[in-house]
Amino acid sequence: MDFKILSLFSFLICIVSSLKDLTYKIDNNVYVATLTNYDSLVLNKNKDVFVMFYSPICPFSQKLLPTWEQLATRFKAQSEDIIFAKFDGSEVDVPESSPWIELEEFPTMVLFKKTDIDKKSFIMYPIEGSRTLANLAKFIESFSTNKNYITLTKEELDEIDNYDDVTPLEIDEDEELDANDVKVLLDNIDADAGEINDSNEDEKEFNDEGTINEKR
């Protein structure tokens, strides 16, 4: 009898531990990805997951975080099939189970499309791409598996600077896209060329200070 009780107790502990591992921390609608929950969260076969790989000490990461949270809040109301996450890659490597592991600069944004883990595909947002809310929203609308019903309302559009100048992307569904391909496509819709030039100047100044792996 005592053995059965002990076995049951051990079983319950295992269940509680498993549930704890699958309980995700959320900051302002942005999921916190870690080494422990990476596979279950980022490689979720039922959702598109847009991940921001960042460093807490990177000024460009800190500047992007509020926009990331705003983006997550906007799309949360429109689709349960796309979520936003952030992964602190400053002290740990991206797990080997990830189909994308080449983290070299902060911040880096990668969209992991929903599918079985062994078929998981991803699209990397260009490092040098404009990080306005408009461009990030258009990226999601263009590349998400849920793009057929992801839209921004007129009220939302009114809050986005220059959004009317951003034109839709035309993409072959079967085409494999790498970061350079995405950059070319995004360049065609970029309405903030001046902002990109300013970003490049900021990047140069930052690199002159001796840091080469953190780009705006």
Domains of the chain from N-terminus onward: 23-208 (3.40.30.10)
| Helical (H) or strand (E) element with 84 | strand 82-88
Per DSSP, what are the bridge partners of residue 52?
86, 109
Output the tens digit of pLDDT for each of the chain's 216 residues.
Answer: 455 554 554 444 444 343 344 578 999 999 999 999 999 999 988 899 999 999 999 999 999 999 999 999 988 877 778 999 999 999 999 999 998 988 999 999 999 988 766 767 889 998 888 888 888 888 888 888 876 656 656 655 665 554 444 443 333 444 444 555 555 555 554 444 334 334 444 443 333 333 334 444
Specify the pTM.
Answer: 0.65
DSSP 8-class letter at 214 = B
**How far does CA 175 lie from the centroid of its chain?**
21
Single out the residue of 89, 133, 140, 99 nearest to residue 119, CA to CA: 99
CA terminus-to-terminus distance, the chain: 63
Residue-wise over 27-38: b if at least 16 C-beta within 10 A, else e?
A: eebbbebbeebb
Contact 162, 134 (CB under 8 A): yes
